[in-house]
Amino acid sequence: MDLRTDIRNDRVLKLVESQRRVLERIASGAALEEVLDTLVELIEGQVADMRCAVLLANVAQTRLRFAAAPSLSDDLKRGMDPFLRIAPDSGSCGIASYRKEPVYVSDTATDPIWRKGRDVLLRNGVRATWSTPIPADDNRLLGTFAMYYGAPRLPAAEHLEIIDMAVQMARVAIEAKADDELLRTTFDDALSALVVTDMDEYIVRANRAFAHLVGYDAAELRGKHVSDGGGDTRGLHEALLASKEPLAYDHRLRTRTGRLRWARCLVSLRRDKSGEPRYIVHYVHKVSDTEASPLERLSRRERQVLELVVAGRTSKEIAGALNISPASVDTYRSRIMLKLAIDDLPGLVRFAIQHGIASA
């Protein structure tokens, strides 16, 4: 095995290791910019005198923005901003995006592509710019992978190998994380208070509106129980498992200052890919300083069924009165008892008397 073969094998091993580390960052749940920063830093470590960047295309496919460029100066990024339009007369990244093919500028001091922008490149020591589009599976443009050299040159075979790997990994990262980032932003910035808990109702994630409601930072709430303990949560899991629709539920919240507040929530179950219950999503739609009536937990149909049950009607009679099946009546009755944390019919009757639904 000659020296050139040894060098190539070493480069391949480094590329494989880089791929592994980027995939680990994706799997760890890191933000897209963090994943792309990792990719750029690993690629920069492959070749001397090279700076790299990943640029992302906007939804309209009209402009690019720097998403990861840890080695580029602010002056260089600001100076290049006018040349990030996706157009046939823009800078190398803009033209590569427009043509959907690589653009290699061997010398920024003489190439007409950089006629208007060469001053900012030269004062930042950039003499060669190579840009390669990052396509999505549907051929939509995701962005570009850019390389900047301090000396005039064109890419050699080993550079093209590195570029191919970088583009592939950038595409994997962008497509894996883009939807997650959109959903995260939508969740965090929602005007309504939202909180996600595990099945034991310990907070996994809370948005800013919920955090503001209780006087904490969102990060501080992770691991805390969603309820202060005043809300009766018995039977919530069973009710969620039995229902295909969100359920009304109450939580007693204790703020950072110790103030107690009651939150009327709509709760729904989220399952993992195997179908197992994984998370409970709580949407707060009403907040009060006094406890709401447990009757508000019931839907209109459940309230109708409850009134007929405590009136002594059978499932068949209730089914006829409400034009539903007897099996549906039994399901509604079970859900009512689960929501109200009541174990038997006498308890349901006592509850109805206490809340004015039935007379003693």
Q: Is residue 223 part of a domain?
A: yes
Among 172, 188, 204, the domain boundary falls at 188
Q: Are residues 42 and 163 in the same domain?
A: yes
3-state secondary structure labels for all residues of the chain: CCHHHHHHHHHHHHHHHHHHHHHHHHHCCCCHHHHHHHHHHHHHCCCCCEEEEEEEECCCCCEEEEEECCCCCHHHHHHHHHHCECCCCCCHHHHHHHHCCCEEECCCCCCHHHCCCHHHHHHCCCCEEEEEEEECCCCCEEEEEEEEECCCCCCCHHHHHHHHHHHHHHHHHHHHHHHHHHHHHHHHHCCCEEEEECCCCEEEEECHHHHHHHCCCHHHHCCCECCCCCCCCCCHHHHHHHCCCCEEEEEEEECCCCCEEEEEEEEEEEECCCCCEEEEEEEEEEEECCCCCHHHHCCHHHHHHHHHHHCCCCHHHHHHHHCCCHHHHHHHHHHHHHHHCCCCHHHHHHHHHHCCCCCC
Distances (CA, A) of 302 to 56, 217, 233, 292: 51, 37, 19, 17
| pLDDT of the residue at 149 | 94
DSSP state of 202: B
Among 162, 188, 214, the domain boundary falls at 188
Model confidence at 55, pLDDT cuts 50, 70, 90, reads: very high
Q: Is residue 359 part of a domain?
A: no
pTM: 0.55
Q: Is residue 360 part of a domain?
A: no
Model confidence at 263, pLDDT cuts 50, 70, 90, reads: confident
Q: Are residues 285 and 151 in the same domain?
A: no
Alpha-carbon distance of 314 to 329, in angstroms, equals 9
Overall domain count for the chain: 3
Question: What is the tens place of the pLDDT at every residue in 227-251?
Answer: 876 444 556 677 777 777 777 777 7
Model confidence at 293, pLDDT cuts 50, 70, 90, reads: low
Q: Are residues 219 and 85 in the same domain?
A: no
Q: Is residue 111 part of a domain?
A: yes
Q: Is residue 315 part of a domain?
A: yes
Alpha-carbon distance of 271 to 249, in angstroms, equals 19
| pLDDT of the residue at 71 | 94
Q: For residue 323, give the CATH number of its domain.
A: 1.10.10.10
Question: What is the tens place of the pLDDT at every residue in 74-127?
Answer: 999 999 999 999 999 999 999 999 999 999 999 999 999 999 999 999 999 999
Q: Are residues 211 and 321 in the same domain?
A: no
Question: What is the tens place of the pLDDT at every residue in 125-172?
Answer: 999 999 999 998 778 899 999 999 999 999 988 889 889 989 988 998
Indicate if the pLDDT at residue 348 is higher than 90: no
Report residue 83 as tokens.
């040349």
Give the structural domain span for 60.
3-188
Among 270, 292, 314, the domain boundary falls at 292
Alpha-carbon distance of 266 to 54, in angstroms, equals 41
Closest CA to 73 of 126, 134, 127, 128: 126
